[in-house]
Amino acid sequence: MSEDLGFFIALLLNGVSIGLMYSLIALGFVLVYKSTDAINFAQGEFVMMAALFGAVVVGFNVSPIVGAIAAVVVVLAIMIGFGFALERVVLRPLLGRPIVAVIMATIGLASVLRGLTPIVFGGETRALPLPIPDDPVVIGPATLPPIQVLGAGVAILLFLGFNWFFKKSRMGVAMRAVADNQQVAQAMGINVERYFALAWAMAGIVSALGGIVWGSMLGVDVQIAVVGLKVFPVVILGGLDSIGGAMVGGLIVGLVESLASGYLDPYVGGGTKDFAPYLLMILVLMLRPYGIFGKRQIERV
């Protein structure tokens, strides 16, 4: 029996670390939705873009540590700039338009990024090596790839950082005010448009780090954008406007995936990993339509 227990714990730890990496990506989605009510269906493509630029910078073959630091700096700069530009050019004209419009605009954006990538960068898969040890990390019965541990660590750090930002810093409080009620925030002298841009830039930061970690784990090509599809169960389970929810949602999705693929795959012939989180999500939508931590919207005619 102890072997079974070991298998279970291994799946559990694997699920937790992968789940934290999912919440890393979901964080970008939640940050944008929380403060601007806009929906980013291109989150996976953001991650892909960040990973690609990271791979290009690392590809210059300076010493590994300098290369990694340079990659992080360059990718952060590019993604923040991209976030700002995107908000200004695409999202701002769509303010106040039906939600379908914003969804489709970001789907269109995803399509553009996916289309341009093979033209600009070529179709081959690139490696994104980071200066971390190759030996798997052994925790009890589980062996985890070091990159997963790093990813989980980055996710936790970002989570703590954003938590502090929204609770304590002046900008974070202003951002919450904007999210709560745009008109009142404007009346209080908050520059709403600037905070919208800031939200997208923060999504850029999260995607940059997420892209480097995921790119390093999976290798960088267009396929990495598929990770973006995992964001939806994560954010729905946690609730769209809750940062803590994104973490919990990520953990749930990671655990469900890991356990489903560990225990169910032998019976149904694989692929439950891609399917189980969505099934769970549908169930949650039926029972608690606004997620576990999301706030219920009250509508008036």
* 52-111 positions binding other proteins, by CB under 8 A: 90, 93-94, 97-101, 103-105, 107-111
Name residue, tokens 């601007």.
Answer: 36
Question: Cα separation of 11 and 139, whole Å?
Answer: 12
Nearest to 231 by CA among 208, 254, 215, 209: 254
Name residue, tokens 């803590």.
Answer: 244
| DSSP letters for 124-135 | S-B----SS--S
* Mask for 197-236, x = binds other proteins (CB under 8 A): --------------------------------x--xx--x
Nearest to 254 by CA among 16, 3, 5: 16
C-beta of 104 vs 188, nearer to other proteins = 104
- Do residues 195 and 35 lie in contact, with contact meaning Cβ atoms separated by under 8 Å? yes
298 binds other proteins (CB under 8 A): no
Among 1, 138, 187, 286, binds other proteins (CB under 8 A): 286
Element (H, E) at 284: helix 276-287
Question: Cα separation of 68 and 60, whole Å?
Answer: 11
- Do residues 40 and 106 lie in contact, with contact meaning Cβ atoms separated by under 8 Å? yes
Among the residue ranges 172-180, 183-191, 213-221, 282-290, the one whose residues contact other proteins (CB under 8 A): 282-290
C-beta of 67 vs 83, nearer to other proteins = 83
C-beta of 9 vs 94, nearer to other proteins = 94
295 binds other proteins (CB under 8 A): no
Among 39, 147, 213, 243, binds other proteins (CB under 8 A): 39
List residues near other proteins by CB under 8 A: 33, 39, 90, 93-94, 97-101, 103-105, 107-119, 122-123, 229, 232-233, 236, 240, 268-269, 271, 274-275, 278-279, 281-282, 285-286, 289-290, 299, 301
